Amino acid sequence: MDGSPLARLVIVLIFLGLLGLPVIALTREKPSAPVAAPSPEAASAREQKVDLVVTLSHPGRVEIRQANQVVAVSDALVSVLEKEITLPDTRAELTVTFHWADGVSPHAGRVVVSQDGETWADQTFWGDAEAQDVLSVQGPKQP
Amino acid sequence: MKLAIIAGLLASIVGAQAQEKLPVVSLGTVLTDLAQSVGGDHVAITSLVKAGQDPHDFEPTPGDVKAVSHAKVVLASGLGMESYLDKLRQAAGNGPTFLVVGEKVKSIPAPEEAEEGHEGHDHAGHDHDGGLDPHWWHSIANTKIAVRAIRDAFIAADPADKAVFEQNAKRELAKLDELAKWVRVEIAKLPANKRVLVTSHDALGYFARDYDFEIRPVQGISTNDQPSSKKVRDIISAIKQEKVKAIFFENMENPKVLTEILQETGAKVGGVLYADGLGQKEGNTYDSMIRHNVTTIVEALQ
């Protein structure tokens, strides 16, 4: 091969550099697409206002929690508790706690969650002085 | 006089037979606990896998095979948890009845990671049976099925004690209903977006199914294998994106990777979970194991 050694070295380096480009492109860590955190607007769009109706067999106290936050509570002994509550989504879990102090046994408490007249969840819980369980709200029935 | 002595001897022989306990061998710590609850004083259980022992590493000794051959009932988890089960069955001969509980429960597919990462469906030492997850006891509904199956196996082997087994099983099922209610109430404290479990060993698939959790296993931390740097980067990225607060471990055999993940993400150690069986002190019964796991998870993710 004719020409100066320096020119040959430059040509070889350029050649090697060109060969290396695809390797660099293949092995370079691609920046992962940023995952957008759900915006407050999107979160509130999923929120659902629903009607909660709790009926007790005997007057007692009721507390309803969602994700460990109180969403409905009776201040005194009640037979019926009605309240509009907000769920984070169409599906949610409500922790229901009843307290009775009248010595009667067994007691029952019924919890109904509905929206625009359509029932999303309806369950009766039984207990003596206390009853605690989870009501699973599944949202509107699929057609 | 002679007649009275003979009658007395016969009565003592019959009495001894009536008090003879049903010999049972268990191949899993959860099964041992359930069998003890159902069998009570009427069964003599030999637990080949001890509390705190990794069932994936267990291999029966010749002495264990002898115990199995003398048993009337052998309890196995199944779904590939006991890779030696077929050989043990052959060695035991026709004597014992094998109850493979995994064949009765509602199973789920084995974690994808294990299927991809280990040829021949081998995952941390055990073979996944047809790609099914063998850790069925993390679903209380499955455990209730196991209790009923154990009850029926005991009654078939020892019909004379049917009433005892039925009564004990009924009591155990009621306790499991109470436990299930307690778990529901505890888990309900966590909103849906916090139900992400980053664990060192993907054994909580049934728990995740029952309570709407997403599992992100960190393969490699609980084993001697080093996870690839890409794998660790992916885990760190996922933990950051999902704002996971805590990571749970079965044990910590790879603190280097753990430290890297914790430093990069700011997540904390959520605690140690009992995944493959009962513990030696805390979590030494099924009830306490479930309560420990649920309390650890809820407190860390709240």
Q: Which residue is closest to A91 within chain B, CA to CA?
A: B192
In terms of Cα–Cα distance, which of A92, A120, A125 is closest to A107? A125
Q: Which of A30, A95, A68 is nearest to B301 (CA)?
A: A68
Q: What Cα–Cα distance (Å) separates residue B284 from each residue in B3, B32, B169, B183, B288? A: 52, 11, 19, 18, 7
Q: Which residue's entry shows tokens 């009654």? A: B155
- Residue A23's SS3 state is helix
Cβ proximity of B92 and B129 under 8 Å:
no
3 state SS of A118: strand
For residue range A112-128, list pLDDT tens digits in order.
Answer: 999 999 999 999 999 99
What are the tens digits of pLDDT across the range A12-22? 888 777 766 66
CA-based nearest distance A14→chain B, Å = 31
Residues from chain A contacting residue B187 (CB–CB below 8 Å): 93, 134
The residue of chain A with its CA nearest to that of B187 is: A67
**pTM for this entry:** 0.80
Beta-carbon separation of A133 and B192 below 8 A: no
Provide the chain B residues 190-219 that lie in CB contact (below 8 A) with chain A.
190-192
For residue B229, which residues of chain A lie inside 8 Å, CB to CB? none
Q: For A27-31, B36-40, B140-144, which range has the lowest pLDDT when averaged over its residues?
A: A27-31
Any A CB within 8 A of B188 CB: yes
- In this complex, is the C-beta atom of A105 within 8 Å of any C-beta atom belonging to chain B? no
DSSP 8-state class, residue A128: S
Confidence check: pLDDT of B223 > 80? no
Counting one residue from A and one from B, how many pairs have CB atoms under 8 Å apart? 34
Going by C-beta distance under 8 Å and a sequence separation of 6 or more, which residues neighbour residue B54? Answer: B125, B276
Is B49 a residue whose pLDDT tops 50?
Answer: yes
Both structure tokens of A56: 């007790």
Look at residue B239 in the predicted model and tell me its pLDDT: 83
pLDDT at B213: 94
Q: How far apart are CA A112 and CA A121, in angstroms?
A: 6
Residue B205 has pLDDT above 60, yes or no: yes
pLDDT exceeds 90 at position A46:
no
Which chain A residue has the Cα nearest residue B191? Answer: A67
List pLDDT tens digits, range A91-114: 999 999 999 998 888 999 999 999
Query: Which residues of A fall within a CB distance of 8 Å from B241?
Result: 35
By the 8 A CB rule, do B79 and B108 touch?
no
Interface of B with A in 155-184 (CB under 8 A): 181, 184
Q: What is the ipTM of this complex?
A: 0.73
* Nearest CB neighbour to A133, from listed B184, B189, B241: B184
Over residues B250-273, mean pLDDT: 77
Task: Name the residue among B191, B241, B302 with its Cβ closest to that of A35.
Answer: B241
Side-chain-side CA neighbours of residue A134 (13 Å): 23
